[in-house]
Amino acid sequence: MKDFDRCLRAIVWSIIVYLLLNAQTGQAQLTIKRGIWNGQDIEYADRMISIKVKPGVVKEQLSSALQILGAKFNEDIDVLRWTTIELPESLAVFDALHVLETNGLIEKAIPTAIRRTAVLPNDPYFRGTTPATYPYQWALKNTGQSPPGGTPGADIKAEQAWDITTGNPNVVLAILDTGIPLQSANQGGTLLPSLSHPDFSDPNRIILGHDFVDVYPADTTVRDENAHGTHVAGIAAAQTNNGEGVAGVAWNCRLLIIQVFDYQGNGTASQYRNGVRYAVDYQRNNPQVRVLINYSGGGWVRTPEDSDAAAYANTYNVPIFAAAGNFSTDSLLSPAALSSSYTNMIAVGATDQDDLRAAYSNYGRGLTLVAPGGRSYLLTKEDEIFSTTPNYLTYLEQRGFTTRTYSYLVGTSMATPFVTGTAALMLSVNSSLTASQIRDMLSQSADDKGTVGYDSLYGWGRLNAYKAVKQAIAKPSRLAPPDCATI
């Protein structure tokens, strides 16, 4: 009996300690909603209202009014006569406001507006600090900096988007390209390929996927021997705010590296199909994540493999972002051209630092939107896109197209990961979005360029990451797509 009493007392004390530790302020868990208040769009905390009482009013005088609503105080009335209250789950904020605004003891009753930290990464090539001599990454923030010179505001509004989110690790960007920087390192007496780039050094963020090329070098690792894949991955999600190199768009999301191009940048439709299947299956086998596919490549022939890959990704709600091509023609490369047939396919063209369509960028039917890709293949590099490259000799460096560790490249290949990274930020704030909703939101939130509305040169306009993320928050949550148990 004594043992039973001791056990019972221990349980009671455990419950008391738990309640004390979890009581804190008694506030409800912060849930962010959007609505219209006083004619303006507002983000506000659900189940919370801020109240300013009239002079001389004390808490006890408001008790009966709160009891009627089933509400409670979260804090005392302060010297400025403000306090916050918590509503029951069954009562909407705006319904409660209508009641409180008529109370003679209350001077003001307002939604509790959301505030966020202002994120400004310390990466030198973004900030323009040593070793950089100016802000290289005009595509993220364009002030008209010289070089390259350009139009202020001709950028994707990354800073404003980062004030909302910098990404979620449960969102995974599958980069189907030439790989990621890997160098042999001694691991337990054995030389094994390890992450080697200062902006791709976190194994918790980089998932080394499958090599579907395996021709040069003769191994099965996703080691980048070309530089294109590393450049694309850096635009989408380089490690950021780490005092190194460049800033990536979705820098708290993860990367899944899948090799579908060889050291010369060549690949096949079959390798693309296998890469898509691998990325989709990664999501199917990891129900907690959402995957997006970036494919900065393509070819003129539309093959049944391209269609089957797009359909497979569409079945499991995985969006594919594909480059329009760099041939300045009025038709898109495949698989981007399939955007007319599959709502999960997003075809991306390129703009320059003046928000003009890049002369090389393909255009025409099916183009979804455009994003910064750089001006042209000129001797001056500063108007191109600056990003990561391998920290060892690669094919493109041998031919004079890049330098080591960080460099410029230009093309719709560079424009595409800006869009993919933005979509990752969108999923980070609303994981319920379908692939077609993501495409619609990117289109609706783009900054209109060219003729009013949709046109074949710019699609729906130039990517605006800030507007896209805001729209993703505003979109009501929806049920998961069919076969959600396997996603």
State how far the Cα of 415 lies from the Cα of 413, in Å rounded to an integer.
Answer: 6
* 228 noted as active-site residue: yes
User: For the chain, what is the largest distance between any 2 Cα atoms, rounded to a whole number of angstroms?
Assistant: 89
Q: What are phi and psi of 41, to 5 degrees?
A: -70, 135
Catalytic residue among 197, 210, 228, 231: 228
**DSSP for residue 351:** E
The burial class, CB within 10 Å (0-12 / 13-18 / 19+), for 377 is middle
Catalytic one among 413, 428, 445, 447?
A: 413
Provide the b/e sequence for 45-81 (b: ≥16 CB within 10 Å): bbbbbbbbbeeebeeeebeebbeebebebbeebeeee
Which of 177, 352, 355, 383 is labelled catalytic? 177
Q: What is the distance of C-alpha 296 from the center of its chain?
A: 17
User: Is 214 annotated as catalytic?
Assistant: no
Amino acid at site 453: G
The answer to whether the CB of 427 falls within 8 A of the CB of 438 is yes
Element (H, E) at 132: none
CA distances from 122 to 130, 169, 204, 400 (A): 11, 21, 21, 29
Active-site annotation holds for 307: no
C-beta of residue 411 within 8 angstroms of C-beta of residue 237? no
Name the one residue in this structure whose structure tokens are 């705010």. Answer: 241
- Which residues are known to be catalytic? 177, 228, 413
